[in-house]
Structure 1
Amino acid sequence: MRPLLLLPAGVAILGAVALGGPGLVDRFLPRQGEENTSSLVKTEAVEPDTPADVVLAQSDGGNSPRSGTTDQPGKVDETALRYFAAKGDTKRLEAEIARLKALYPGWTPPKNPLATGPANDPQLDAMWKLYSEGKLTALRKAVADRQAAEPGWQVPQDLLDRLAVAEARDQLIGASDLKQYDKVVQLAATNASLLTCGDVDVLWRVAEAFVRTDRKDRARDAYLYVLKNCDKPEERFATVQKALPLLPRTDIDQLLAEERKAPDGKGEFDPLRTDIARQSLANAGDDPKLVVPPADLALVEKLANDRGLVSDAVLLGWYHLRRDSPQAAETWFRRAYGKENSAETAQGLALALVDISRPAEAESVLFQWRNTSDDTRKVYLAAVANLLAVTPPPQIAAEVLDRMSRAVAEAKDTTSAEQFGWYADALNQFQTAAQWFALALGWKPDDEPSAYGLALMRWKLADHAGVRDIQKAWIGRSERIARVGEPEAKPRETGRVPSVVLPLQQPGPQPETAASTSQRAMPPDLDPRAGTTKQTRAAPAKTTGCRETQDPRGLTPTQALTRGWCLMEINRPLEAAAAFDVALGGSGQTRSDAAYGQSLAYLRAGLADQAAVASSKAPLSRERAVEVRVALLETQALAAFEHQRYPETIMALEERARIAPERINLMILRGYAYLKLHRFGDAEQVFRAAAATGDRDALKALGDLERARNRN
């Protein structure tokens, strides 16, 4: 008959408490603030809320060996200790000492375990050998065989205890490997002698089991137990390493607080602090909402400066980029890119450059890596789109335009193709613009912006049937497509035209531009731009502070706004527009003032498209919105007249008249548009109404009307 194995009383009590109710975890590990013992469990007392009947039932009816073990260290069975010492098994000797200390706090290990003890028993030695080799099944058989052969032979209690614990350890390791975490906790609770510094691996597994069963506070206590009680440097270091991916940062900081210092002042966890700081920044690079402790940021910056690792610079670049600090991101990414021109460093640098409005550099940096991955391709195409959207349109080298167009066509990127269309439109290359919009629409048939752009280009090319086809296809889906040709339609800009031919340019004559028109269709003094709109703003800036050239990107939004108004005062509208663009980074009234100022700046520069876009960048007061709208319609009317699109001229002026009183010079412009369309009656009505005010230009216009009638 197999003998009954009696566990130490403390273990039995722990098991009763642990398995007897919901308080398993709370009774398993000592909480913060409790007195530390040499074991992870307290075996000296039963907690006051433990059911007494359960404890007694699980401790052999009250006849536990507690009093003969824990309280009387003289009776401690040191057989295993002597055996491991005799065999020179240092590792198991240390583990056995730790186990006995945990079970018998008053026990002191002998200085020489071999000095005393019973005579050698070859059979018993063989059993201990089986135990030390982990052959537990063979050990069970050896014990049973000897009991059968020698009925009076008594199995050493320590061997039985160690066998039971070893079997429990095997079960615990197996449950841990199978991710049966509740079973791991139960086995640990009923085998408290496993939870010592002699077997730190078990402690690590139990801590992980707590984490996996949503009891991270108990896991923290388990890791803290190791750091407070165990001395091996490699095990202490590994303990924090294992906790890193499992515990929140606040708990990790508690573990780090148990760090021990070397005589030279160096902490045992210094390398880990470096890894923790880097991981903190890596996590923050993925999640912009994460708050990084200032100490982590400072440590990684110091590492990047001292060691110059590309990986640290990249970490800092992504951290700043995700937190809307593109200037700082550009600094770190450029440092990394300078040391290692790779897809990652180029991608980060390109994103930062796009964010600080330097898309041309971004395109150049990332071009060679554009097809490395989907991410790099997307960033490259974003740089292309942003470069094409710069206002006023930049003059881009032909080879750059060619490679960008090929990349866009290869990727079939609708957004970039659409920007190519608007860029071509800004250069008055309407046929090319139409082709880009058509290409984008072919890739994405439901792309309303591309359909709108194509309709507008067909209108500008006088392809009214083509416009109607698009309007029919989009009926009920886009109000602005339905109104192409009306004042709300996107007007063509009348600014400078760079001397560049875009890809997909078709042969044939191009529409004449404002810059190339040799003769005006009306007297110069009737130019509607002569009547500039008022600029309703408060406290205009003094002009003496902005005559020197300065990059506004280094200014705060408020400073940039002031500089923008100052530049408007000295008639440098394009520089003012750039300053207002920086001011748009502000908020509230500053942002609204910047949008208004940039609209006026572009209008003064003759860039109506950009003025319209600027006016939509922030909410404007009703008065300002009307003012900008009136100015846009005037500019549109003039541009249409200069390019002999007289119906557009009339529609723009009529729309303007609906929101603001019509000035005499604009009435005369409308009359000349009627005249060019041979609508002599309408022209006469307008000219006579203007002449009734006594305006000499209106009287002259009546003479022009009479001569036109005579020629026809």
Structure 2
Amino acid sequence: MPTDMTVFPRIMILALALALTLGAAIPAAAQQPGPSDLQALRFYLEQDNDVAVRSELRRLQIQFPDWTPPANLSDMRADTGPDSIDRIYRLIESGDFDGARALIAETDRDFADWSPPTEMLSLLNLSEAQQQFTAAVAAQQAETAIGIARGIPALLSCERINNAWELAEMHLLLGETSRALGIYRSVIGSCSASEILISTLEKADAVANLTELESLADAALASAPDAATDIRRVENRLRAGRQVPARWPNGEQVIELDAATTAPPDTTAPTAATPPASTRPPPRPEAPSTPSAPQPQATAPAQSGAGLSSVAAAAQRGAWAECLALSANSSRIDVIYQRGWCAYNAERPMEAVTAFQRAARQGGSATVRRDAAFGWMLSLLKLNMTEQAAQIAASVDLTRDQRIEIESQILDQRGLRAYESGDYARAIAYIDAHAQLTGSMRRDLGLLKGYSLLNMGNRNAARDIFLQLHRQLATSETRRALRAAE
């Protein structure tokens, strides 16, 4: 049973040769396509791939000159194949790759008019490789992870940029700095999204010398000239961290949220005694909250069809991999918008950024453009690209709930970053602004504020915060904090 749609052009050539040789001797029945002949057309219709649909129609009309396609091609979508197709995608989604292969073979054997589409097989192989690669990285098995990535180049696509960054870390684990830099250089030369370029520059900064950093920044400018301002600003910041002069004029100002610039309260300012800078809080007990991705059925553009219906149905079931497979290469903005939420929930934030960015600019209604911008910012924040999200937030008219969610995450990330850089007064300002915005002080941020006070020398104020948190809920973290403030 053929498994690759590229077999059809060869069949077309063979059919033409037979027609020239046999002429009228070809049976009349051969002038009408059967279910297997129409399989590729149905597949491309379901994928909303208009270019492939037109090409396949031309092929069928050459091979079957007496056949006339229906006036409404949507009628041909009805034959969706065996019921087991949905189960196959569910098995892939759950990571049961052996089970998926067994069900594919069973379905292929039981349904003569069906063959597994290339997209399904590609998704299966790529999902399995992704699982193996992720496990190898988590186990710090550098050589295994590197071998997997070499065997499946699709793992290193720009849409799966985290894999490339993790591959570089695996090379660094083996002491192969030049190979890691080579990966960063390849990413910057291959990907054009400014978010990817900036994050890659930041990661390369840890291992590149100044000349190499300048070379990478120049390559990033060549890849995304429209993002020159952001790239130059980042390079200047990285150079400042090395205590070397800025390379570019510092005439651009980063957009800030008003709440983030609130001055710290007077109680945080004593400087007479400073504890060692090594005083650090324990690992944060919880990550910043993020909403479950809203489903777009209520806000999607009106031109919904079978393509959107199947994608939205997969999303409604939480079948993120199936949703991504069905929406791959679609040019429809409503499908691309739904794809963004599937990528976000599937922990593929860079793919989500790409989809939401396009939907935010081309959405058919103001509501869709607004909600796509919301998803775009959530995805950037998931990548810890705080300032890029802040710039978008300053120019988008979000709902109140959306703005609270976005601004609270921005303040959260800025507070943590300020703490880690030793700017404790600014960390407290961000934490207090977060509490004012949300109406309460989150427990992990309360601990962070306490440690900031402690590092600034205000031991009594720090101890008051730790004691209050301990009385609310005594944990090993609050006990450790109280001991640090004694």
**TM-score when scaled to structure 2?**
0.43
- Given the two structures, how large is their TM-score scaled by the length of structure 1? 0.31
The structure, 1 or 2, with the larger RCO (C-alpha pairs under 8 Å, 6+ apart) is: 2
User: Which structure: larger Rg?
Assistant: 1
